[in-house]
Structure 1
Amino acid sequence: MAIDLRDRFDAPHPVIGMVHLPPLPGAPGYDPATDDRDAIRTGMLEDGGIDGIMLENFGDAPFYPDEVPTSTVAEMAALATALTSAVDVPVGVNVLRNDAEAALSIAAAAGADFVRANVHVGTAATDQGVLEGRAHETLRLRDRIDADAAILADVHVKHATPVGDADIRRAALETVERGRADGVIVSGSGTGAETALEDVERVADVLAERDPERAPVFVGSGVASETVGDCLEAGADGVIVGTALKEGGETTNRVSSERVTELVSAARSSEPGE
């Protein structure tokens, strides 16, 4: 079952804002005395014109490699359900480090629109060890539980080094053609790190060569008001933004309404054809 990810968004070049969750119960950084999950605010994202929101257990480091505890799944399912009820834009789920099964299950329970798979095909060396793609399991699970969630998969995911063939063009083709991802993400080396525009161009071009109606390409890190236009010009169909929307440009700070409005405005004015 292929899903047209473009149909999930009202904007032709969507800006997806990140909700970086604080440490959840069970994570080393969790402190019940300062637990502020109930204070998570998405209004500034939606009010600023954001086109989608992605929920991520960012604060749970060090991350489980590929299977998080059931308590994490339960916490994120509850938060995702509250989020989908509170906003009118598409919602996505990313379960770090690479638990696409949990992400799909959460999305199905919460009625979310898409999930992110960090290592969908191939193999990557990471600080969690060597991670292997599980596209064969992820696609079958989506059909089995009838989850209406698109799969947005990373190509050469950040905070990782591909094992074996490092050709990003071939990796993109494998991700879409054999991994059957509905869209791909191209990122820099880490959270907030600028993405090489050459990589965006290579991925967009090689996918278009195989199929003019290619899967959408998103830029997944380092996007800012000053660079979002360059990302779209390079062939990106949308962007995923976290750090640049936070106060002071710090990933762990709260969302800044001014930064959200500024980046969304920059994206709108930079759309091809504008």
Structure 2
Amino acid sequence: MVKIIGMIHLPPLPGSPRNTMSLEEVVEYALSEAKTLEKAGVDAIIVENLGDYPFFKDQVPAITIASMAVIVREVVRNSSLEVGVNVLRNACIQAFEVAHVTGADFIRCNVLNGAYVTDQGIIEGRGAELLRDKRYLNSNIKIYADVHVKHAYPLYNVDIEIAAEDLAERGGADAIIVSGPRSPIPPDIQNVIKVKKAVKLPVLIGSGISLSNFRKYCEVADGLIIGESDFKINGEIGGRSNGESYAKLVKECRSISPMV
């Protein structure tokens, strides 16, 4: 069965340039989003600081981590869903530690292996430090890692299936995320199939899922991470989730038999 993961895109957190809400107001926003997504029938949710742009590369201020820990803890306490953490742009270790202390289930790490040119500069993989932190904490938190991550260009530009094999065999990933070049753009379906054939790990779609294309991805992927405009009220990117759109996808995707 395809795993459906909804996004809680947080508004700007305290300390970020566009912040207008108190931490308590952001917590209430996140809890409302979690309730909407749970009612729609998704399997998991990712709490992400999308509103904090422009993003730091891989270290974020303490106020951001403190805020994320408070928010994620409340979401975990008040939801029966699996909860993931993503701290943009690539604060994978800090996200992992937030997940550890709050009881979350997994993180998304944009750059676990390799090196990428991004709009934040050159970002290098954090796998060596992250896997040692996981061992030190004796943690079972899973690492969902992007391959040829969106909004980036790989300096170690091997074919996508080779990069996926490296993530699985050398990076310590528990699942592989395949995306398009930017958030609104879905991945090439052939790239998804290549990655599926290259690794034994779950393969998830990380961008571009819409009400018009989700069916074909339900046939080939193990999971969908959903948060594009079709699933937002009034199509607002980063805004509140549209529960009806999510529910439609969940119902129809559940009825589709995988082809790969």
- TM-score grouping bracket, smaller chain normalisation: over 0.9
Secondary structure at the residue paired with 1:270? coil
Higher deviation after alignment, 246-255 or 106-115: 246-255
Deviation of 1:122 (Å): 0.3
Deviation of 1:32 (Å): 4.1
The TM-score, its normalising length taken from structure 1, stands at 0.89
Show structure 2 runs of 5+ residues with no match: none
**Residue of structure 2 aligned with 1:25, choices 14, 18, 25:** 14
What residue number does 1:4 align with? none
Q: Which 4+ runs in 1 deviate beyond 2 A?
A: 32-36
Deviation of 1:146 (Å): 2.3
Q: 1:73 to 1:228 in 2, by over 3 A?
A: same
**Alignment of 1:66 onto 2:55:** no
Show structure 1 runs of 5+ residues with no match: 1-11, 208-213
Pairs aligned (count): 255
What residue number does 2:224 align with? 239
Deviation of 1:180 (Å): 1.6
8 Å Cα contact 1:193/1:222 also seen in 2: yes
Secondary structure at the residue paired with 2:176? strand
What residue number does 1:216 align with? 202
**Residue of structure 2 aligned with 1:161, choices 144, 148, 153:** 153
Residue 3 of structure 2 aligns with an amino acid whose one-letter code is P
**Alignment of 1:124 onto 2:127:** no
Q: 1:149 to 1:189 in 2, by over 3 A?
A: same
Q: Cα deviations across residues 242-265 of structure 1 (Å, max 9, x unaligned)?
A: 113211333232111211111111
**Alignment of 1:136 onto 2:121:** no
8 Å Cα contact 2:13/2:21 also seen in 1: no
The TM-score, its normalising length taken from structure 2, stands at 0.94
Deviation of 1:192 (Å): 2.1
8 Å Cα contact 1:13/1:271 also seen in 2: no
Secondary structure at the residue paired with 1:112? coil
Deviation of 1:34 (Å): 10
Q: Cα deviations across residues 88-137 of structure 1 (Å, max 9, x unaligned)?
A: 11000001000111111000011000001100000100000000001111
What residue number does 2:241 align with? 255
Mapped partners of 2:77, 2:211: distance in 1: 29
